[in-house]
């Protein structure tokens, strides 16, 4: 069977062909023609009707159509459990799962419609209109619908769904997304392409309480553009969150070659070949997306480092401060650059962030006290608590601090934490009562009792929550870091 193609441009909404509805082989037609099919499911009724018409041969009205259908189509609908497992972690791995509660799906055969092919990079989808028309309007259904894959297919994509259901501020963020016209949470990334709306949504997703409150106050001003970076902490948190998501999806697809060992039949061999092509395509898209994200992260870090060198420290909560980032200045990152980008990124993160590793190296007194208070295992699991203590500790020595400008800005920030943390005061009082005997122990010599008080703890917790991010360090461990601008 050949394909149809246009000899001249097709204009938007131009109808180039129609298929009469009475030519459609539907479950309704099958049951009307063969009443004994009534108890069967939609698919079973269609399949039985098709077999019946095929056995009629030339006597069937549908013989010309049935005669050109392929004799075998190895789509995922016919896969064994083992063959389905090969698609684990891909778009189709989720798409071929059958929902036992979904009883509304209706299927039909549309003769010759599939002969209308399309060029690469064209947006082709299926739409059913109220008048029972079916229109082709997006693609990417080769593996699911036809059982084969094209190597290096430019139309391959990976689906990304933004999920904020576990966020304590979920409702508030969904309302904000709605007001920003960013309610669609499903996105498709391709080779060298990440939708800008996805990045915008992730900026909202990673907002902390202070950023969310401050952004909403400025929502109608010019400095409130969610389509651009709104602050260094927010942008770094967004890029780190997205890169971790991509890495998780990629890790599921890596090291899968052993799953294809021991294939004997020609059928399994053909299916395995196409599954591997499909998996390789998914891996390439994810790796390409990671390269883009790492490149953006390096750009934002270099800009932050430059601002830091020139003492350009904005006021808290470091959001909507008109930072100027040109992501287009480095658009040609190749996949081979990823390792060098990661190394450069780690070096700048080490310069910009206040981290446990850094403070334990540069301040022997603080390090000694912490090692006496916490066991080695607790130091790793209590990073947030230790950094909160360090903010109070370093706040005593602002003039000598490596982060003097940051502390000068942070020490003045009391309006937000007084309002925001009133409801958490009881919880923080319990934390204070737990920490006070440990950190004020004369043998430890970390704080005097007049230095470590409940007000200082509330302030420090507030600054930590406003300015901290989680990131992957050079040892591939998840760590906390305080962004100082």
CA dihedral 242, 245, 250, 252 (to 10 degrees): 180
**Listed residues 330, 347, 364: the one ending a domain:** 347
Give every CB contact of residue 452 below 8 A, 6+ residues apart in sequence. Answer: 392, 435, 436, 439, 440, 446
pTM of this structure: 0.75
pLDDT, tens digit, 9 for 90 and up, residues 428-456: 889 999 999 999 988 888 888 888 998 88
Same domain, yes or no: 293 and 384: no
Same domain, yes or no: 172 and 303: yes
pLDDT at 345: 85
> 481 has which bridge partners?
469
- For residue 270, tell me if it sits in a domain: yes
**CA–CA–CA angle 79, 80, 86 (5° rounding):** 75
- For residue 10, tell me if it sits in a domain: no
Domain harbouring 200, CATH code: 3.90.1420.10
Same domain, yes or no: 241 and 311: yes
pLDDT at 464: 92
Same domain, yes or no: 121 and 192: no
What are 39's two structure tokens? 């108890």
Q: Do 457 and 464 meet the contact criterion of CB atoms below 8 Å apart?
A: no
**Listed residues 124, 146, 168: the one ending a domain:** 146
- For residue 12, tell me if it sits in a domain: no
Same domain, yes or no: 250 and 382: no
Q: Total domain count for the chain? A: 3
* Residue range(s) defining the domain that contains residue 446: 355-483
- For residue 5, tell me if it sits in a domain: no
What are 103's two structure tokens? 């009883």
Same domain, yes or no: 293 and 217: yes
Same domain, yes or no: 285 and 263: yes
- For residue 122, tell me if it sits in a domain: yes
Same domain, yes or no: 342 and 360: no
- For residue 152, tell me if it sits in a domain: no
Same domain, yes or no: 321 and 420: no
Distance CA(445)–CA(367), nearest Å, equals: 11
Q: Do 31 and 38 meet the contact criterion of CB atoms below 8 Å apart?
A: yes
pLDDT at 100: 43
pLDDT at 424: 76
pLDDT at 20: 76
**Listed residues 347, 370, 390: the one ending a domain:** 347
Run of H or E residues at 66: helix 63-68
Same domain, yes or no: 181 and 324: yes
Same domain, yes or no: 370 and 475: yes
- For residue 13, tell me if it sits in a domain: no
In the predicted model, residues of the chain with pLDDT beneath 70 are: 1-5, 72-74, 77, 94-149, 220-224, 320-322, 329-336, 413-423
pLDDT at 468: 93
Same domain, yes or no: 299 and 368: no
- For residue 2, tell me if it sits in a domain: no
pLDDT at 96: 60
């Amino acid at each position: 069977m050949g394909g149809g193609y246009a000899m001249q441009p097709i204009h938007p909404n131009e109808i180039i062909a129609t298929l009469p509805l009475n030519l459609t082989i539907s479950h309704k037609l099958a049951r009307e023609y063969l009443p004994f099919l009534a108890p069967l499911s939609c698919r079973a009724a269609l399949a039985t009707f098709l077999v019946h018409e095929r056995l009629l041969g030339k006597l069937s009205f549908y013989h010309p159509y049935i005669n050109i259908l392929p004799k075998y189509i190895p789509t995922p609908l016919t896969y064994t459990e083992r063959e389905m497992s090969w698609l684990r972690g891909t778009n189709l791995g989720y798409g071929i799962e059958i929902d036992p509660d979904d009883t509304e799906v209706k299927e039909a055969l549309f003769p010759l419609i599939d002969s209308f092919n399309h060029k690469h990079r064209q947006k082709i989808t299926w739409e059913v209109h109220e008048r029972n028309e079916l229109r082709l309007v997006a693609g990417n259904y080769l593996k699911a619908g036809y059982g084969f894959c094209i190597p290096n297919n430019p139309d391959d994509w990976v689906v990304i769904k933004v999920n904020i259901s576990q966020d304590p501020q979920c409702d508030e963020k969904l309302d904000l997304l709605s007001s920003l016209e960013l309610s669609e949470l499903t996105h498709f990334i391709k080779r060298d392409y990440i939708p800008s709306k996805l990045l915008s949504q992730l900026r909202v997703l990673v907002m902390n309480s202070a950023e969310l409150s401050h952004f909403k106050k400025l929502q109608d001003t010019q400095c409130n553009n969610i389509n651009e970076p709104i602050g260094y902490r927010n942008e770094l948190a967004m890029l780190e969150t997205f890169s971790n998501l991509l890495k998780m999806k990629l890790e599921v697809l890596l090291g899968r070659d052993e799953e294809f060992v021991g294939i004997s039949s020609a059928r399994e061999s053909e299916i395995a070949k196409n599954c591997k092509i499909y998996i390789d395509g998914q891996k390439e898209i994810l790796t390409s997306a990671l390269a883009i994200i790492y490149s953006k992260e390096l750009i934002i870090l270099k800009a932050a480092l430059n601002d830091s060198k020139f003492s350009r420290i904005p006021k808290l909560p470091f959001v909507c401060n008109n930072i100027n980032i040109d992501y287009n200045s480095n658009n040609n990152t190749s996949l081979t650059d990823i390792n060098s980008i990661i190394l450069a990124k780690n070096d700048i993160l080490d310069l910009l962030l206040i981290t446990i590793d850094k403070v334990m190296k540069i301040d022997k007194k603080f390090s000694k006290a912490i090692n006496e208070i916490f066991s080695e295992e607790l130091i790793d699991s209590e990073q947030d608590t230790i950094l909160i203590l360090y903010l109070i500790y370093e706040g005593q020595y602002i003039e000598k601090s490596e982060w003097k400008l940051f502390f000068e800005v942070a020490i003045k920030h009391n309006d937000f934490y007084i309002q925001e943390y009133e409801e958490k005061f009881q919880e923080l009082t319990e934390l204070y009562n737990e920490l006070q005997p440990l950190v004020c122990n004369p043998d430890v010599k970390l704080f005097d009792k007049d230095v470590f008080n409940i007000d200082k703890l509330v302030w420090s917790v507030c600054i930590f929550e406003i300015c901290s991010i989680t990131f992957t360090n050079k040892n591939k461990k998840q760590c906390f870091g305080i962004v100082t601008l």
